[in-house]
Amino acid sequence: MNKVPFVTKEKVEEIVKTYPTPFHIYDEKGIRENARRVNEAFSWNKGFKEYFAVKATPNPYILQILKEEGCGVDCSSLTELELSEACGFTGEDIMFSSNVTPAEEYVYAKKLNAYINLDDFSHIDFLKDCAGIPETICCRFNPGGKFSLGTDIMDNPGDAKYGMTKEQIIEAYKKLKSLGAKKFGIHSFIASNTVSNDYYPTLAGILFDLAVEIKNAAGVELSFINLSGGVGIPYTPDKEPNDIMAIGEGVRQKFEEILVPNGLGDVKIFTEMGRFMLAPYGALVTQAIHEKKIYKDYIGVDACAANLMRPAMYGAYHHITVLGKEDAPCDTVYDVTGSLCENNDKFAIDRKLPKIDMGDYIYIHDAGAHGFAMGYNYNGRLWSSELLLQEDGSVKLIRRAQTDKDYFATFDFGEYFDKINFKG
């Protein structure tokens, strides 16, 4: 599978006349089409809802598009709740799947009538004391051990800080019921970035069996089962992407096999995907500004890890297209680097690319989720703008670039702020 940019070199040349590089750009058409496929894949389930994980791409214009496609939001912090509220999400449109939650965030989530998803047994009393137990409540499950699909170990939930053990979660439902809760949900996130059509169906099987056990052991019938995130995308061009229709069908089969015969056929299926909803529909566009040849050949670009941290943080692969050189042979080996004084600030290492000239635009694929959002300001590097390629082909600014004044804004109380000679 060759990865194809959703903007051409000509389009970028037009965009930079108004919005200089680096910038993140999102493809509205791609986002909408994918969201529609997700809803279609689960249309067999009456109450299905995708709660987009806000942390992946916390931009109100993106949230608005997803809202129009019928999605809710998954939040885990006060500011994510505030952003969602500003976008018009209310009550059952909001899933609050937090952990290590401060009291004021529970209070706010309860005020918004969001679904509150408890990460731990001890949070029952914590929530009761700070906000009260709502009528509908969700608990997060952690099965422990290692999670495998076939012979592949996918992740290590036994090592993850999230969720409750099976014994705890059964006790949690009993306790919540005794405290007046009337409706219940379960949530679990046990593997990240799975590129396999079996992840959701396997997780669904585990949670559906557990739902039956909870019904028998705690006398609680779950109203919803939240499969959370973890459906991934292939960052490398050699892998097959997930087939969301096959995934939806796999979950349906488990539903028919386990829930329906046990009188739980009304359960609503929820998802909380971030990466699958947005990653392929966003890119970081940056320009080659330096070439340096020492022991290796380096291309220096005007973006850095502060704009896209995944390669530096996880050693993650992000595919690169040199715009206008799509068909040129990849006959030169480069490290593509940013300007941070950190040697891990490399978008690509030993990557075979077409010969790059100064001024070339470098398109870094699959940056639409956990991309801009993980940005930081190390070395005083500023956040880029975010742009939306709209369905009619026009480009809209959906977040302006950070300025030096924004960067220094938290000094606005004292004697230094007024002495800074702001350039931009």
Catalytic machinery residues = 341
Span of 8-16, 50-58, 282-290, 309-317 interacting with ligand PLP by CB under 6 A: 50-58
End-to-end CA distance of the chain: 42
Q: How far apart are CA 224 and CA 211, in angstroms?
A: 10
The angle that helices 166-178 and 122-130 make with each other, rounded to 10 degrees, is 30
Q: Which of 49, 55, 346, 399 binds ligand PLP (CB under 6 A)?
A: 55
Q: How far apart are CA 278 and CA 100, in angstroms?
A: 26
Q: Give 13's Cβ-side CA count (13 Å radius).
A: 7
Pick the closer one to ligand PLP by CB: 55 or 123: 55
What ranges in 259-391 are assigned the alpha helix state H? 275-278, 310-314
Q: Is the Cβ–Cβ distance between 5 and 237 less than 8 Å? A: no
Which residue's CB comes closest to ligand PLP?
229
Q: Which of 254, 275, 346, 365 binds ligand PLP (CB under 6 A)?
A: 275
Span of 4-12, 201-209, 266-274, 338-346 interacting with ligand PLP by CB under 6 A: 266-274
280 is a contact residue toward ligand PLP (CB under 6 A): no
Measured in residues, the chain has a length of 424
Q: State which H helix or E strand residue 50 sits in.
A: strand 49-53
Give the burial string for 297-307 (b: 16+ CB within 10 Å, else e).
Answer: ebbbbbbbbbb
365 is a contact residue toward ligand PLP (CB under 6 A): no
Q: Is the Cβ–Cβ distance between 44 and 247 less than 8 Å? A: no
Q: How far is the CB of 47 from ligand PLP (least distance, A)?
A: 18
The SS3 assignment for 107 reads helix
Q: Which of 64, 113, 168, 192 binds ligand PLP (CB under 6 A)?
A: 192
123 is a contact residue toward ligand PLP (CB under 6 A): no
Q: Which of 185, 201, 274, 280 binds ligand PLP (CB under 6 A)?
A: 274
Q: How far apart are CA 13 and CA 359, in angstroms?
A: 11
Q: Which of 273, 301, 348, 356 binds ligand PLP (CB under 6 A)?
A: 273
Q: How far is the CB of 338 from ligand PLP (least distance, A)?
A: 23
Residue 384: closest CA among 270, 303, 273, 275: 303
381 is a contact residue toward ligand PLP (CB under 6 A): no
The SS3 assignment for 318 reads coil
16 burial level (CB within 10 Å; 0-12, 13-18, 19+): middle
Pick the closer one to ligand PLP by CB: 11 or 275: 275
Q: How far is the CB of 250 from ligand PLP (least distance, A)?
A: 17
Q: How far apart are CA 291 and CA 298, in angstroms?
A: 6
Size of the site for ligand PLP (CB under 6 A): 18
Q: Give 109's Cβ-side CA count (13 Å radius).
A: 35
Span of 222-230, 233-241, 253-261, 416-424 interacting with ligand PLP by CB under 6 A: 222-230
6 is a contact residue toward ligand PLP (CB under 6 A): no
Q: How far is CA 9 from CA 82, 160, 375, in A?
A: 37, 43, 25
Q: Which of 38, 56, 139, 259 binds ligand PLP (CB under 6 A)?
A: 56
Please list every residue from 224 through 263 that binds ligand PLP, using CB under 6 A. 228-231
Q: Which of 34, 97, 142, 242 binds ligand PLP (CB under 6 A)?
A: 97
Q: How far is the CB of 166 from ligand PLP (least distance, A)?
A: 19
Please list every residue from 57 through 96 that binds ligand PLP, using CB under 6 A. 74
Q: How far is the CB of 300 from ligand PLP (least distance, A)?
A: 30
What residue ranges bind ligand PLP (CB under 6 A)? 53, 55-56, 74, 97, 189, 192-193, 228-231, 272-276, 369
